[in-house]
Amino acid sequence: METFEADYSKYDFKNSTDYDVTFEKGLSEDVVKRISKLKGEPDWMLEFRLNAFKFFMKRPVPQWGGDLSKIDFNDLTYYLKPIKDRAKAWDELPKEIKDTYDKLGIPEAEKKFLSGVEVMYESESVYSSVKKELEDLGVIFCDTDTALKKYPELVKKYIGRVISQNDNKFAALNSAVWSGGSFIYVPKGVKVPMPLQAYFRINAESMGQFERTLIIADEGADVTYIEGCSSPIYSKNSLHAAVVEIIAHKNSHVKYITIQNWSSDVYNLVTKRAFAYQNAYVEWIDANTGALLTEKYPSVYMLEPGAKANILSVALANRNQHQDTGAKAIHLAPDTSSTIRSKSICLNGGRTSYRGLVKVGKGATGVKTSTKCDALILDKESRTDTYPYMEISEEDATVSHEASVGKIGDEQLLYLESRGIPEQEAINMIVLGFMGEFIKELPLEFAVEFNRLITLNMEGAVG
């Protein structure tokens, strides 16, 4: 396993950043007020935060999923501002921050195949850009703080509409102390040709990152958003508690792709939900590697006829990692359809759990929904479970559920070896093949990166 830790080096580098603003550890109403004041927010947002803080304090730590008992909310830093002013060009960034993103390959990717980029370092966005043609069409892509300043009406209209401050303990926490995140608005009929990308980076130790992402696709709009996340390894735990809300209006299409690769000391507790209106199509492509514990179940609420959801959840749990992931498809209108696919791999004692909910509400007739969960378990120490929940209130719903747990077959290994491929590479090929369905959904550059991540994790999987 040393090999794995060593090869994590692309992500595991720390910078000694001189922060512009640093909060002491711990959470209180005062911390919430100071964050809001520092950002110069309108009163309604302060209210929003303070309300959320009350909910957070009232709600117990959830018991149903992974082990959250070791999170010490008073041993986290809730706000760290890296630089005074956001950069408009990569060169304006302080060297150590620019280096971070260079190492991760973001500026390079921007040049080649992205419509816009947004990067966040600790609590704040540090760089943001969107192609001029798109700006001219009225596309907004910036960090959520900037959106609150420049487009307060839009933010006020939509924030918390999909995920209320009281939705769950971590959504409440996010609502109280949120900072950064992406804001996207695509006007009626505009189709964004290339993906918009955000990259979230935790650099400091015992950091809480609480980005808030809000994506609004107006009627007939089309947008693909990609988010990458990473952090270096510390011995103390960090917390990533994000909230992502998507509003997909009539006939729109939103595709949201995440590849998360947190270090194995991060609690990754994220609430992601979309509202899909008439004939809208929402896709969550969600891959989780790394992290001590992930709890994440991207959801689509199909609120009007013809809405569609496609959720692909991918998890890889290596040593000391627990990926509790899944999906929710909530059918609340007739003729809505959903597909859920889950692919998980566990090795070296890692644990994956699929947790999903398929709900067909009263009056939602003609629903079609299918769920398929495939788990691959690489050794005896590892564990995988499925917890599929169903609440079906209309009899004519077409509901299917399939689950499989597989091992890498000795015969598959021998077959590849008998073509001259060494065992380790044969394992990689089989694992990547298993993930093939997911990899196909990614733009090429991300597919390459994801292959690399998987391959790194597989090192030392033999023997």
Q: With binding defined as CB under 8 A, does residue 412 bind another protein?
A: yes
Q: Smallest distance from the beta carbon of 126 to another protein, in angstroms?
A: 38
Q: Given the rule CB under 8 A, which of 190-198, 266-274, 290-298, 434-442 is the region that contacts another protein?
A: 434-442
Q: With binding defined as CB under 8 A, does residue 448 bind another protein?
A: no
Which of 222, 423, 441, 459 is in the footprint of another protein by CB under 8 A?
423
Q: With binding defined as CB under 8 A, does residue 416 bind another protein?
A: yes
Give the nearer residue to another protein in terms of CB position, either 6 or 414.
Answer: 414
Q: With binding defined as CB under 8 A, does residue 437 bind another protein?
A: yes
Instruction: Give the relative orientation of helices 95-104 and 106-113 as an angle to the nearest 10 degrees.
Output: 60
Indicate the DSSP class of residue 10.
G
Q: Given the rule CB under 8 A, which of 19-27, 224-232, 312-320, 411-419 is the region that contacts another protein?
A: 411-419
| Main-chain dihedrals φ then ψ at residue 110, nearest 5 degrees | -60, -45
Which of 436, 444, 448, 452 is in the footprint of another protein by CB under 8 A?
436
What the block records as the tokens of 204 is: 């400091």
Buried-exposed string 368-407: b where 16+ CB fall within 10 A, e elsewhere: bbbbbbbbbbbeeebebebebeeebeeeebeeeeeeeeee
Which of 40, 189, 363, 409 is in the footprint of another protein by CB under 8 A?
409
What the block records as the tokens of 431 is: 């694992």
Q: Smallest distance from the beta carbon of 293 to another protein, in angstroms?
A: 28
Which of 430, 442, 453, 458 is in the footprint of another protein by CB under 8 A?
430
Length in residues, the chain: 463
Which of 137, 399, 421, 447 is in the footprint of another protein by CB under 8 A?
421
Q: Give, in order, the Cα–Cα distances in Å from 37 to each of 40, 46, 49, 230, 272.
A: 5, 8, 11, 29, 27
68 CB contacts (<8 Å, ≥6 apart)? 61, 62, 267, 269, 293
Q: How many CB atoms lie within 10 A of CB 354?
A: 26
**How far apart are the C-alpha atoms of 171 and 158, rounded to whole Å?**
15
Give the nearer residue to another protein in terms of CB position, either 174 or 457.
Answer: 457
β-pairing verdict for 140-143 and 182-186: antiparallel
**How far apart are the C-alpha atoms of 216 and 250, rounded to whole Å?**
11
Q: Given the rule CB under 8 A, which of 32-40, 71-79, 83-91, 424-432 is the region that contacts another protein?
A: 424-432
Q: Smallest distance from the beta carbon of 451 to another protein, in angstroms?
A: 11
Q: With binding defined as CB under 8 A, does residue 194 bind another protein?
A: no
Which of 6, 38, 405, 414 is in the footprint of another protein by CB under 8 A?
414
Bridge partners of residue 288, in order along the sequence: 260, 315
Q: With binding defined as CB under 8 A, does residue 415 bind another protein?
A: yes
Q: Smallest distance from the beta carbon of 324 to another protein, in angstroms?
A: 25
Size of the site for another protein (CB under 8 A): 23
Q: Given the rule CB under 8 A, which of 140-148, 206-214, 412-420, 454-462 is the region that contacts another protein?
A: 412-420
Q: Given the rule CB under 8 A, which of 27-35, 200-208, 326-334, 425-433 is the region that contacts another protein?
A: 425-433
The label of the residue with tokens 């890889």 reads 316
Give the nearer residue to another protein in terms of CB position, either 5 or 423.
Answer: 423
Q: Smallest distance from the beta carbon of 441 to another protein, in angstroms?
A: 13
What the block records as the tokens of 257 is: 């792709």
Q: Give, in order, the Cα–Cα distances in Å from 7 to each of 11, 234, 237, 258, 454.
A: 9, 16, 21, 22, 12
Contact pattern from residue 351 through residue 390 relative to another protein, giving x for each residue in contact according to CB under 8 A and a dash for the rest: ----------------------------------------
Give the nearer residue to another protein in terms of CB position, either 216 or 376.
Answer: 376
Which of 429, 445, 451, 459 is in the footprint of another protein by CB under 8 A?
429
Q: With binding defined as CB under 8 A, does residue 422 bind another protein?
A: yes
* Helix (H) / strand (E) containing 281: strand 281-290
- 3-state SS of 309-330 is EEEEEEEEECCCCEEEEEEEEE
Give the nearer residue to another protein in terms of CB position, either 194 or 421.
Answer: 421
Q: With binding defined as CB under 8 A, does residue 463 bind another protein?
A: no
What the block records as the tokens of 294 is: 């992930």
Q: With binding defined as CB under 8 A, does residue 45 bind another protein?
A: no
**How far apart are the C-alpha atoms of 368 and 345, rounded to whole Å?**
28
Which of 74, 136, 419, 463 is in the footprint of another protein by CB under 8 A?
419
Give the nearer residue to another protein in terms of CB position, either 138 or 409.
Answer: 409
Output the DSSP codes for 320-364.
Answer: T-EEEEEEEEEE-STT-EEEEEEEEEE-TT-EEEEEEEEEE-TT-
Q: Smallest distance from the beta carbon of 411 to another protein, in angstroms?
A: 4
Positions in the binding site for another protein (CB under 8 A): 409-412, 414-423, 425, 429-430, 432-437
